[in-house]
A and B are shown apart, each in its own frame.
Chain A
Amino acid sequence: MALEDVRDVALAGVETAGREELVVNIGPSHPSTHGVCRVIVHLDGEVVTKADPVIGYLHRGIEKMAENRTYLQVVPLTDRLDYVGSMYANWAYCRAVERLAGIRVPERAEYLRVIVCEMQRIASHMMALGSSAADTGAFTMFVYAFDERERIIEAFEELCGARLTYNYVRPGGVSFDVPDGWTEGVLEFCRKHRGALDEMDRLFFGNVITRKRMKGVGVLSAADAVARGASGPVARGSGVNWDLRKHDTYSVYPRFDFDVPTGSAGDCYDRARVRLFECYEACRIIEQAIAQMEPGPIHTPGLPRLLAPRPGDAYDHIESARGALGVYLVSDGSVRPYRMKVRSPAFCNLALLPFLAQGHMLSDLVVILGSLDPVFGEVDR
């Protein structure tokens, strides 16, 4: 039954002369907005006629702060951008600095970066899947997914001492080499994680409530996904086969054999399913990277603590769990960046919300918002 029919049946026999638009404010502190998002929703009955997201409740001015920090001191700030996937912002920023200063990174450091970023992808997707499951009422899935995430956080803690804000990827390399037995632990995790993913697939995606809540909700066509700037799992859920790791490749990704999972329907279900399959691919990449990694230096030798790149500007990007994360840096030749701009995928994906939510029920709005997986540290910066 189409939404218009639902409304007509519900309103059959009701006097409609006095109908008026209802404006509902959701947020900025609401459990299903995944942070501090406020959405002003205009409703006709229970159907959304217009959704206007109000963001900026976590705008901390990181881009301005970076102008008064040295290149190395900016790295901890990038941790706080995307706090579900701190490694990505670290890496994107360091790639931009390395391009600007012409630094070559040792091979082992590149492998370590790939390993931690793929682990971060699993952790981030577990959070996204779990919280969007909680939005549809499947809290069990949230607990299962969080359990998997916790194991990765523990591995990161063993690697660099922090649970969330790692400050691990630095310009010219990484901060620590792996401790003894760490890689074996990661391989063991990958092996077990596949079983957990199979279980989640049955538990959540096979569930009839999930299918009814997510299938056909928030449909984004492939053409719209490209035109409206969607990237990452949001674009791939619509069938856009576009992954920077594969199609605009960087670092050592060409050496790995992996697939880019894509959806077809472009609804919330496909976007969530793409995230699940990306976890399988991330496990494959981690295993290959650990097998190929050879001993060697983890940091460019002789790199000064105070970098002063020549004047100019550089942009570099990586594929984060949310999409194309880019950092644009302008140098004026001093030890501090003249300007830093973060091209945030969560910001661009969240801009789709008014387009996707229109014509859906109010309860579907939170499902759509969850399927876009915004992290507000990165949206607002």
Chain B
Amino acid sequence: MALIDRLGEALDGGQGGGIILSTLDSLVDWARGKSLWAMPMGTACCAMELIAASFNKFDFDRHGTFPRPDPRHTDVMVVAGTITKKMAPAVKRLHEQMADPKWVIAMGNCAVSGGIFYYDTYSVVRGIDEFLPVDVYIGGCPPRPESLQDAVLRLRERIATESIAPDRKREVALLLPESSGISFGARLGTPSSADVTDSEGDER
């Protein structure tokens, strides 16, 4: 267990540690969310859009997301493309090699559900969530590079709710009395299920 996890556990249990913990959480989440290095797990068509997202026109670097084809350096795995039954063990193994905390973006219909290769085929895994914990899904066949950038922003929102202490969620929404009638940060609450971003061009 990493030092930061033990620190979180100690603070969570200790007297008055909650205030320090939530301050520390906001710092850690800010740091993690603003430099999401991506592991480009590009296999098929979506890989071309993944490359395009990093290049001059779309310039992924400005979001702090930098493709790095090495699992040990990266925070988020972008699974872009069809995953076949032959490929799945390799993807799973690469995910296991990534250091915690780690996130997964399923890019494109094939990674979400099998997409156009859902029916009639004997070799395609119908969605990577059969063997990986997916945080953000992007629809589209293939999604545009902008969708991928949107997914990273959504993932950042999700990271903002995480705490370094185990089994604890950080409340980001501003706490105001209900009688005031003002609600802030509705989207920033703890998401119950993974966010889904939509994109045009769905072939199914």
Q: Do chains A and B touch in the complex (CB under 8 A)?
A: yes
C-alpha spacing A164/B124, complex, angstroms = 21
Cα A31 to Cα B142 in complex, Å, equals 20
Q: Could you say which of A59, A76, A150 has the most chain B C-beta atoms within 10 Å of its C-beta?
A: A59
Interface residues of chain B, those whose CB is within 8 Å of chain A, are 41-45, 47-49, 51-52, 55-57, 69, 81-82, 84, 86-87, 90-91, 94, 116-117, 119-124, 141-142, 144, 201, 203
Quick check: A60 and B43 within 8 Å, CB to CB?
A: no
Is A310 part of the contact surface with B, judged by Cβ < 8 Å?
Answer: no
User: Complex formed: what's the CA distance from A127 to B48 in Å?
Assistant: 10
Q: For A165, give its contact among B45, B56, B82, B90 (CB under 8 Å).
A: B45
Whether the Cβ atoms of B122 and A64 lie closer than 8 Å is yes
Indicate if the CB atoms of B84 and A164 lie closer than 8 Å.
Answer: no
Query: Which chain A residue has the least Cβ–Cβ distance from B42?
Result: A35
Q: Is there a chain B Cβ closer than 8 Å to A29's Cβ?
A: yes
Return chain A residues, CB-CB under 8 Å to B47: 35
Asked if A275 is at the interface of the complex by the 8 Å CB criterion, the answer is no
CB-CB under 8 A from B123, the residues of chain A are: 59-61
Q: At the interface, yes or no: A293 with Cβ under 8 Å from chain B?
A: no
| Residues of A close to B121: CB separation below 8 A | 60-62, 64-65
Q: Are B86 and A83 in contact (CB under 8 A)?
A: no
Q: Name the distance in Å between B43's Cβ and chain A's nearest Cβ.
A: 5
Nearest CB in chain A to that of B39: its residue? A29
Q: Which residue of B lies closest to A69 (CB)?
A: B120
A-B contact number at CB 8 A: 97
Contacts of A35 in B (CB 8 A): 42-43, 47
- In the complex, the answer to whether B119 meets A29 with C-beta atoms within 8 Å is no
Known contacts A58-B87, A163-B144; is-contact A84 B120 (Cβ 8 Å): no
- For the complex, is A323 an interface residue (Cβ under 8 Å from B)? no
Q: Which residues from 60 to 87 on chain A have a C-beta closer than 8 Å to any C-beta of chain B?
A: 60-62, 64-65, 67-68, 76-77, 79-80, 83-84
* A188 interfacial by beta-carbon distance below 8 Å: no
Check: A248 CB closer than 8 A to any chain B CB.
no
The answer to whether the Cβ of A57 comes within 8 Å of any Cβ in the partner chain is: yes
Roughly how many angstroms separate A288 CA and B38 CA in the complex, as a whole number?
44
- In the bound complex, how far is the Cα of B45 from the Cα of A76, in angstroms? 13
Contact A64 B120 (CB under 8 A): yes
